[in-house]
Amino acid sequence: MFSKILIANRGEIAVRIIKTCRRMGIATVVVYSEADADSMAVEMADETVFIGPPPAAQSYLVADKITAAAHETGAEAIHPGFGFLSENAGFAKRCAEEGIVFIGPNPHAIEAMGDKIQSKLFAVKAGVSVVPGHVGEIDDTAHAIKISGEIGYPVMIKASAGGGGKGIRVAWKTRDVEEGFPAVKAEAKASFGDDRIFIEKFIESPRHIEIQVLGDKHGHVVHLFERECSIQRRNQKVIEEAPSPLLDEATRAAMGEQAVRLAQAVNYDSAGTVEFVAGQDKSFFFLEMNTRLQVEHPVTELITGLDLVEQMIRSAHGETLAFTQADLKINGWAIESRIYAEDPYRGFLPSIGRLVRYDPPAEGEVAGATVRNDAGVREGDEISMFYDPMISKLSTWAKTRLGAVDAMGRALEDFHIEGLGQNIPFLSSVMDQERFRSGKLSTNYIKDEFPDGFWGAAPTPFQRDLMAAVACAMHRTITRRAAPQLMRDDWVVIENGERRLVRVTNGAALTVEFLDEGRTLKLEDADWRPGKAVFRGLLDGRAFSAQVEPLPEGFRIRHRAASAKVLVLTPRTAELHERLPPKKAADTSKMVLSPMPGLVVTLDVAVGQQVRAGEPVAVIEAMKMQNIIRAERDGVVKAVNAAAGDSVAADEVLVEFA
């Protein structure tokens, strides 16, 4: 076995690989950019090598620096993780030429299947059903418009070297191609160093189902069943699960057989994924093959008991697969939620900043389920604008699908992050939706269920009771410490403007009696003290975790996707409070604000220019994504407060109208 492996990646996947190497007794080397100098992966690795500035094109994508680091440290092999150089056939060839083992498929397989254009040509020759489209490169915007018209809208514009949701747009009309084609080329160049583009028909209301394959260097290939990845936003996977609630045994076997046949045709000899677009009728078409480890590999590991990183290492070392297809079985159900640094209340735009608090749920066996959190960050780390916004991958396993979903809901409750926007409330909302729980999924799920964006969820009756009880308990604790002479039993709770009369008494548990409703609840095992951001307890026997924040007046309490401002007042104070005039929001109607922190790529207006609603005003780039900022009203530009190349904060004024 290898004695030392270099990891040509960063973040959670670098940490994930280190953990397997440690278990296998293999020393690790991590390369790092300036932005990652204090990262968790750098701290955990046995050796580290600095490779340059934060932009990936000057560090993680520079093959010269990666191979030099391997030679310098005596690493026998390189694991590329996912993204960066993981699907670069030229890099795999170079490793072989320099006597370094590339932990991934052979260069021929990467060339045949890793390139999105070539893989479709190859699949057609192999008799695999593919999505209709233009199989070939696109020259320019005019060529893209012509081809899109021939295929018929909607179409999907995709980077040939793309992956991870980067370099992809859906175009519904010519204008979308005019704007989307150059944006996809720019993203592809920045993320992959390859700006070749192709176009295919976009199939409406499909499901995204992929088959995990695994091969060795002796001609053996097996599949490790499927993953359903239909919950996506902007073509970026958000929630994945294994197996798929759509497939029956016959369809699963057919998809698996096709994936294995395709892999065998190119002598595939590592972990890889054959992706399919599937109809609700269980029809399926080959989409592409990812010749690398997938972000969502933990759900496959949880249902099969295999360590895919270990299998990749063993295959690269020349070992034969230790099992056959007949040995592999599906055990239970697993769900993965991607925890992203993004603000769901602002259109899921990237949220850059420091993890002031990072408190994930406990891992391991929890109430009959398994909780796993793959992360590459710690409290105090910074989420940089230069890389993907993922904070961690939270996975749960249970014997049944609903068991795994319920376990995920509880794990998300226990996950606390402060310092930047994150999508935990949104993920919690999905777990509680009846449609998701029923398994009726499609890649349009988020668009269908959240057509106006995500604004949280209205509290259920249980959540209203929970928030009132938590607020009363917090208020009682604070009052007892700060002003015990003001202790009393009867209070008025105002929750998002709704008034409730309560009586709070202490015994073995805290009793909260709703006087105007004739109901009494017991709050037990309360785990909270001033300064803690999570309140845990049992409400009438039901375990819960709530995110809490004392405000200058009252408390902000969030349970899953529902949140409320809750006041606990004396009857007289409540009476006076209701007479206060509402606070008016600031008027920003004549301003164009940056919706997120990022870099100004272009600012397309000048003072005195007439602008119409919907016209592009600026392009802001953050975390490898370019976002077009449009005017929301007609007007004449009065002031321009930024220029191309400037770094801007969220809500910074870019343009003012007269």
State whether 186 and 313 are in the same domain.
Answer: no
Tell whether 584 is covered by a domain: no
Instruction: Over range 189-202, report the average pLDDT.
Output: 87
User: Among residues of the chain, what percentage have pLDDT more than 90?
Assistant: 76
Q: Under DSSP, is residue 539 helix (H, G, I), strand (E, B) or coil? A: strand
Residue 315 Ramachandran class (φ > 0 left, ψ -120 to 50 alpha, else beta):
alpha
Is residue 545 within 8 A of residue 398, CB to CB? The reply is no
pLDDT at 340 over 80: yes
The answer as to whether 175 is a domain residue is yes
Q: Say if residue 285 is in the same domain as residue 389.
A: yes
* Contacting residues for 581 by C-beta, under 8 A, at least 6 apart: none
pLDDT of residue 526: 92
pLDDT greater than 70 at residue 164: no
49 or 167: which carries more pLDDT confidence?
49
353: confidence class by pLDDT, cuts 50, 70, 90: confident
Other CB atoms closer than 10 Å to residue 65's CB: what's the count? Answer: 19
Residues 337, 239 contacting (CB under 8 angstroms): yes
Lowest mean pLDDT among 360-369, 382-391, 561-570, 622-631: 622-631
Shared-domain flag, residues 367 and 478: no
pLDDT for position 413 = 96
Q: Which DSSP category does 36 fall into? A: G
Contacts of 365 (CB under 8 A, 6+ apart): none
CATH number of the domain to which 530 belongs: 3.30.700.30
Domain range for 139: 132-201
pTM assigned to the model: 0.84
157 and 224 assigned to the same domain: no
- Which of residues 140, 168, 201 is at a domain's end? 201
Indicate the pLDDT class of residue 251, thresholds 50, 70 and 90. very high
In a domain, residue 490? The reply is yes
Residues 280 and 368 in one domain: yes
Q: How confident is the model at residue 133 (pLDDT cuts 50, 70, 90)?
A: confident
What's the N-to-C CA distance of the chain in angstroms?
Answer: 70
What are phi and psi for residue 233, nearest 5 degrees? -140, 130
Is 117 domain-assigned?
A: no
Do the bridges between strand 357-359 and strand 369-375 make them parallel or antiparallel, or are there none, so unpaired?
unpaired
Q: How far apart are CA 539 and CA 521, in angstroms?
A: 7
CATH of the domain at 20: 3.40.50.20
The total number of structural domains that make up the chain: 5
Of the chain, the percentage scoring pLDDT greater than 70 comes to 99
Interatomic CA distance for residues 155 and 148, integer angstroms: 6
pLDDT higher than threshold 90 for residue 434? yes
Please state the rounded mean pLDDT for residues 508-526: 93
What is the C-alpha to C-alpha distance for residues 650 and 652, in angstroms, rounded to an integer? 6
- Would residue 288 show up in a list of annotated catalytic residues for this protein? yes
Residues 275 and 381 in one domain: yes
- Within this chain, do residues 279 and 386 fall inside the same structural domain, yes or no? yes
- Give SS3 for 258: helix
Is residue 579 very low, low, confident or very high in pLDDT (cuts 50, 70, 90)? Answer: confident
Q: What are phi and psi of 436, to 5 degrees?
A: -65, -45
* Dihedral sign from CA coordinates of 106, 108, 114, 120: negative
Please indicate, yes or no, if residue 109 is contained in any of the structural domains.
no
Please name the amino acid found at residue 326.
A
Helix (H, G, I), strand (E, B) or coil at 629: strand
Contact call for residues 503 and 520 (beta carbons, < 8 A)? no
C-alpha dihedral, 489 to 490 to 491 to 492, nearest 10°: 160
- Token code pair at residue 576: 């006076």
Does residue 639 form part of some domain? yes
Q: Mark whether 223 and 195 lie in a shared domain.
A: no
Say if 520 falls within a structural domain.
yes
- Transcribe 123-148 into DSSP letters: HHHTT--B-SEE-S---SHHHHHHHH
Q: Which of 577, 610, 636 is the last residue of a domain?
A: 577
Among 383, 414, 449, identify where a domain stops: 449
Confidence (pLDDT) at 461? 95
Q: At what angle do helices 141-151 and 174-192 cross, to 10 degrees?
A: 120
> Residue 454's closest CA among 429, 480, 477, 491?
429
365 and 217 in a common domain? yes
pLDDT exceeds cutoff 70 at 624: no
Q: Please give the structure tokens belonging to residue 594.
A: 């940056």
| Cα dihedral value 82, 87, 91, 94, nearest 10 | 110
For residues 319 and 370, membership in a common domain is answered with yes
Residue 179 lies in a domain: yes
The residue annotated as part of the active site, out of 187, 226, 240, 288, is: 288
Give Cα separations from 281 to 32, 111, 130, 245, 284 (angstroms).
46, 32, 17, 13, 9
Q: In this predicted model, which residue has the larger pLDDT, 43 or 122?
A: 43
Q: Got the DSSP string for 262-328?
A: HHHHTT--SEEEEEEEE-TTS-EEEEEEE-S--TTHHHHHHHH---HHHHHHHHHTTPPPS--GGG-
Contact 230, 210 (CB under 8 A): no
Half-sphere CA count of 245, side-chain side, radius 13 A = 20
Q: Strand order in 616-622's β-sheet?
A: 625-630, 616-622, 598-603, 647-648
Strands of the 221-233 sheet, one edge to the other: 284-290, 271-278, 207-215, 221-233, 236-242, 333-340, 390-398, 369-375, 364-366
Which CATH number fits the domain that encloses residue 165?
Answer: 3.30.1490.20
Is the pLDDT at 117 greater than 90? The verdict is no
Weakest mean pLDDT among 8-12, 390-394, 572-576, 647-651: 647-651
Instruction: For Cα atoms 378, 383, 388, give the angle at the middle one, nearest 5 degrees.
Output: 115
> What number of helices (H) and strands (E) belong to the chain?
17, 40
d(CA 538, CA 530): 19
Does 295 lie in the same domain as 425?
yes
Co-location of 242 and 289 in the same domain: yes
Three-state helix/strand/coil letters over 78-102? EECCCCCCCCCHHHHHHHHHCCCEE
